[in-house]
Structure 1
Amino acid sequence: MSVALMATCLGDAMFPEAPKATVRLLRRLGVDVDFPSAQTCCGQPMVNTGYLDEAVPVVRTFARAFADHDAVVVPSGSCAGSIRHQHALVARRSGDPGLVRAVEELTPRVYELTEFIVDVLGLTDVGAYFPHTVTYHPTCHSLRMLGVGDRPRLLLEQVRGLTLVDLPAADECCGFGGTFAVKNADTSVAMGGDKARHVRETGAEVLVAGDASCLMHIGGLLSRQRSGVRAMHLAEILASQEPAPALGRTAESRTR
């Protein structure tokens, strides 16, 4: 199977550890991951703000960059949701039958990371080790647009050393919402404040989610509150492994 990574804009520009961890994880699971260098944005910011015509070249670039791969893995429910639900709209808007066909053929091969691991690879135990208390925030797009369901929790529950605690009001939005946070800053901060409070109530050391955008928003609030809670992408935790034991002196060296 030919598998490609769609790193996402935030992963490329601001939070590279998430796509890096995705590659380490998939390679450990026996998947040879390609990174098409022609990839850019998924186009969601343009579509969400009504600039569908401007999104056409972006969708065309995506379709060309990933056309030859059997699966495209995206470590973001938001971007995967945009590709699966918005690209067809943009392609039809373009009036280009070739782009419509390309999107129709490619879209079913696009997977959010946990979908790919659980549904395609058939795994829930990825051999991870993370000895910390964790709470999980199910992001809006992964929860409502993609319907990833309990896949992330199934994976987290199999991580050795990890204690998973429930997040109160977990299904409520964190308030980021892309441009929503810019256009409605006060409401966004209030919603994020509620989410941060719920995270603190769990007593968890780490907040985990599948979208860097939500982690940036909630994590920023938690940092300003000096909560001590670390925000981490799910891929980083699943890629974590128990460190190798330190090598002691050999029997020969001890006799010298």
Structure 2
Amino acid sequence: MKVALFVPCYVDAFFPEVGIATLELLERLGCEVDYPLDQTCCGQPMANSGCHHDARATEALYAKNFAGYDHIVTPSGSCAHHVRDHMTAIEQTAEVQQVRRNTVELVEFLHDVLQVREFPWAEFPHKVGLHIGCATLRGLREAKTSEIDEPAFNKPARLLSAVKGLEFVTPQRPDECCGFGGTFSVFEEPVSAKMGYDKVGDHHRAGAQYIVSPDMSCVMHQQGCAQRMGLPIKFIHIAQVLNGARQ
């Protein structure tokens, strides 16, 4: 299967190992992966701040880079959510609409498209707290939320359940926001920080050694909170765990 890989700008800048792990994992699973070299941002930061006109150029470049692919895979739920539901600053041609429909977050692609249920090379012998960011949880609907009365489901947890040695621990409020929220963490810094401290503390009390997430932006925020709190929790993206990282 031939797919295109979109590596979000903050992953490229701060966590390139996550992009590498995503590429390696897709190739392990038999995908032929293209990486358009002209890719930059999907336009989410500008659009989230209400600057839709400023997002036009990046959205147009995204659509140009990824036209013609059946699947555009990204290790970021918030970016996938923006492209699919909010990439509206540019003209909605048939090509643009196809690019939007074909953009999927990594967990969605593994769970729903490839329907992978085994990762025989993966082993992660640690107690893990799972964090699913708000856009991934409520925008992409990758797991049940506490406010909706429906049967339980959790796609990231189902994938991680196939990893040898991994033990889940559950915080008291598993689907509560961590406070990152993109530019929210800049404009509402005290509120954002307090939410992050609460989230990390909840995981720590549950016994988490690692927090695993499909959302590296949330991980970045929580990692900073944990460091300021002096908590010995480590953080890792789900792509790295599924690709065989041990720590």
User: TM-score surpassing 0.5?
Assistant: yes
- Which residue is equivalent to 1:84? 84
Q: Which amino acid aligns with 1:126?
A: F
DSSP-derived class of the 1:90 partner = coil
Picking from 120, 126, 136, the partner of 1:132 is 126
In structure 2, the partner of 1:114 is 107
Structure 1 equivalent of residue 64 of structure 2: 64
Q: Structure 1 CA distance, aligned partners of 2:243 and 2:126? A: 14
Q: What's the TM-score, normalizing by structure 1?
A: 0.89
Larger helix proportion of the pair:
1
Q: Determine which structure has more spread, i.e. the larger CA radius of gyration.
A: 1
**CA distance in 2 between partners of 1:66 and 1:36 (Å):** 8
Deviations 1:135-163 (A, max 9, x none): 10111000011111211000011101111
Segments of 5+ residues of structure 1 without an aligned counterpart are: 243-256
Cα distance in 2, alignment partners of residues 204 and 152 from structure 1:
17
Q: Is the 8 A contact 2:68 2:99 kept in 1?
A: no
The answer for unaligned runs of 5 or more in structure 2 is 144-153
Whether the 8 Å contact between 2:46 and 2:55 is mirrored in structure 1 is: yes
Superposition misfits of 4+ residues, deviation over 6 angstroms: none
Distance of 2:44 and 2:124 partners within structure 1: 33
CA distance in 2, matches of 1:125, 1:202: 27
The C-alpha deviation readout for 1:26-52, integer Å capped at 9, x for no partner, is: 111111211110111010111011111
Aligned to 1:141: 135
CA contact (8 A) 2:130 2:213 kept: yes
Do residues 233 (structure 1) and 232 (structure 2) align?
A: no
User: Which AA in structure 2 matches 1:112?
Assistant: E
Residue identity (%): 41
Partner of 2:41: 41
Q: Does structure 2 conserve the Cα–Cα contact (< 8 Å) formed by 1:156 and 1:164? A: no
When normalised by structure 2's length, the TM-score is 0.92
Letter matched to residue 94 of structure 2: R
Distance, in Å, in 2 between the alignment partners of 1:164 and 1:190 is 25
Aligned match of 2:158 in 131, 154, 158?
154
Counterpart in 2 of 1:182?
186
Amino acid at match of 1:205: Q
One-letter identity of the residue aligned with 1:137: H
Q: What secondary structure is seen at the aligned counterpart in 2 of 1:147?
A: coil
User: Number of paired residues?
Assistant: 235
Shift of 1:241: 5.8
Deviations 1:105-129 (A, max 9, x none): 1112111101100111111222221
Kept in 1: contact 2:170–2:203 (CA 8 A) = no
Contact 1:134 1:162 in 2 (8 A): yes
**Partner in structure 2 of residue 212 of structure 1:** 216
Q: Equivalents in 2 of 1:61, 1:163: separation in Å?
A: 41
Displacement after TM superposition at 1:229 (Å): 0.8
